[in-house]
């Protein structure tokens, strides 16, 4: 099966991924985000950074923090604010609310600027060990299914969908991964065909 990505686009997509992962690495290491968060709990960085599928500035950090209190998590948020000077941050306590549409844990949504114009979006979750293990294994399993062609196809689709108004509200990166890896999507038309079939199930 041939790739839908031509050589010039391939270079651009891979270059963008490398550049964004380098920027993410600078946030984690040079600006001290990893060291700061690890003062509270061990962390795992998952998502597009770990998968080498970065098209926009989005970083997913999970804390193995079963004992962290809300007060401690707010103290961490205060220190992140001092270190990164974010445009805005918002907190969610999903630890004690059964049936909520998000994972069970504590969450900081960190925005270093307007994400619509390309600023960093950092999602920081504090999880119980079982939840964290499931998320990490899910990411590792997904990475193991990728090859060069599927990686390029996913990067191409993500780059085309980034500014689509339906992205995040109606479809997510997980839908892209499922369409390509599970249903053989090779084009934007294939992807939307997969989404329509999923919605009618």
Neighbouring CB atoms inside 10 A of 20's CB total: 22
Q: Lay out the sheet containing 106-111: strands in order across.
A: 43-46, 58-64, 121-127, 106-111, 88-93
- Token output for 156: 């191409």
The confidence score (pLDDT) of residue 198 equals: 87
Phi and psi at 107, nearest 5°, equal -140, 135
Residue 191's contacts (CB-CB under 8 Å, 6 or more residues apart) are: 157, 161, 175, 176, 179, 180, 185
Which stretches of the chain drop beneath a pLDDT of 50?
A: 1-4
CATH class of 7-143: alpha beta
The confidence score (pLDDT) of residue 186 equals: 94
For every residue of 43-76, DSSP letters joined together read EEEEHHHHHT--SSSEEEEEEE-TT--HHHHHHH
Q: Domain extents for the chain?
A: 7-143
- Token output for 164: 């689509």
The confidence score (pLDDT) of residue 8 equals: 60
Interval 149-177: pLDDT, tens: 999 999 999 999 988 888 877 899 999 99
What is the C-alpha to C-alpha distance for residues 19 and 24, in angstroms, rounded to an integer?
A: 9
What is the C-alpha to C-alpha distance for residues 155 and 19, in angstroms, rounded to an integer?
A: 14
């Amino acid at each position: 099966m041939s790739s839908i990505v031509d050589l010039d686009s391939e270079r651009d997509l891979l270059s963008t991924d490398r550049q964004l992962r380098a920027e993410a690495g600078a946030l984690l290491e040079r600006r001290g985000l990893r060291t700061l968060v690890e003062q509270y709990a061990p962390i795992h960085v998952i998502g597009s950074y770990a998968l080498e599928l970065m098209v926009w500035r989005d970083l997913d950090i999970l804390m193995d923090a079963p004992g962290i209190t809300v007060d401690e998590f707010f103290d961490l948020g205060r220190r992140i604010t001092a270190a990164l000077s974010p445009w805005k941050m918002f907190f969610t306590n999903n630890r004690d609310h059964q049936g909520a549409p998000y994972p069970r844990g504590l969450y900081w949504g960190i925005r270093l600027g307007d994400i619509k114009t390309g600023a960093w979006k950092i999602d920081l979750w504090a999880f119980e060990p079982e939840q964290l293990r499931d998320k990490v294994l899910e990411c590792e399993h997904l990475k193991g299914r990728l090859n060069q062609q599927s990686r390029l196809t996913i990067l191409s689709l993500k780059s085309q969908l980034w500014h689509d108004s339906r992205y995040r509200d109606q479809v997510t990166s997980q839908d892209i991964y499922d369409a390509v890896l599970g249903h053989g999507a090779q084009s934007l038309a294939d992807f939307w065909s997969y989404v329509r079939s999923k919605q009618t199930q």
